[in-house]
Chain A
Amino acid sequence: MSDQLSIRNAKPSDLNDVISLDTVTSKTEKADYWRGIFDRFVTGGKSDRIFLVAESNGRIAGFIAGEVRAWEFGSPPCGWVFAIAVSPKAREGGIGRRMFDEISARLKQTGVTTVRTMVDRDNKLTLSFFRSMGLRTGRYIELEKPLD
């Protein structure tokens, strides 16, 4: 399958495919959220906001999105990957790795030297994937509380 696979910048016409794929993989439809992300990442034209899709045989088999974030609690500019999805039918074919390698290369071109992400601890599939890509627990700790 990887022979016909291409990793490319998302186009505005990919929006519905991204919404569908996200609905399948996350079990939650959030069309408005993805429209907003496309406005900022796909039609915005900024090099430090990256939205890539994996196209296989004319179909969207995966997507990954990330950006450069800077100076949050003193953290120098770094790459942030905040979404990744691969169609369940297309898994274990190296699509996630290809997308992650490509977004890492693009982030590196902007001048950052670190890539970060944040994933729910119960999302073992995605966490294991990032681990396999070499990511480890970093210097920043996520804290939260329910708001009464």
Chain B
Amino acid sequence: MRLNKASLFALFAVLELASDPERQLSTGEIASKYGVSPHHLAKIMRDLVHEGLVQAVRGVGGGYRFSGNIQRTTLLDIIQMFENLESELDVPHGSPLDVPILAELKSIANEIDDLTKAVLDTITLETALKGARQRAEI
């Protein structure tokens, strides 16, 4: 599995905000904590607002606050906002696409993709945060 930057930044932002739903943070504060581009993160925050996962808080000291369901939203829900997580076989242009070996390789890639998605779809934000807290205590 290779997550693109948008998925990863979205996971950083959602998990950071969900770790304390009462707290509000600016894009700059989140970007600074995770060492990511504020410009790139700002676009992602708009997508997260659109999906109802975070809420924009206006005015002085404004920023974003978590507004999703920490027990029901899974990592896959976040990732699939930005990518489909499907393996791509880098088949050269002009290669015949109907050969049985290629079909078999695609079928194996699909099996791996299905397993990856099944795992990510069972890890809620709450479970991921619990694991992160346990790591922090070690």
Contacts and interface: CB of A to CB of B under 8 A. Distances in A.
B113 interface: no
A28 interface: no
Contacts of B74: 124, 128
Nearest to B122: A127
What DSSP secondary structure best describes chain A's contact surface? helix
A130 B126 CA distance: 13
Nearest to B118: A121
Interface string B88-123: 000000000000000000000000001000110111
Interface in A105-129: 121, 124, 127-128
A92 B69 CA distance: 13
A30 interface: no
Contacts of B119: 137
A128 B124 CA distance: 7
Nearest to B134: A134
Interface size for chain B: under 10, 10 to 19, 20 to 34, or 35 or more residues?
10 to 19
Interface in B56-114: 71, 74, 114
A132 interface: yes
B123 to A, nearest CB: 6
Contacts of B130: 132
A137 to B, nearest CB: 6
B37 interface: no
Interface centre among B74, B114, B118 (most CB of A within 10 A): B118
A11 interface: no
B127 interface: yes
Contact of B124 (A121, A132, A137): A132
A8 interface: no
A40 interface: no
Interface of A: 92, 121, 124, 127-128, 130-132, 137
Given A124-B122, A128-B123, A128-B127, 10 more contacts: A92-B71, A124-B121, A127-B118, A128-B74, A130-B122, A131-B124, A131-B127, A132-B126, A132-B127, A132-B130
Interface of B: 71, 74, 114, 118-119, 121-124, 126-127, 130
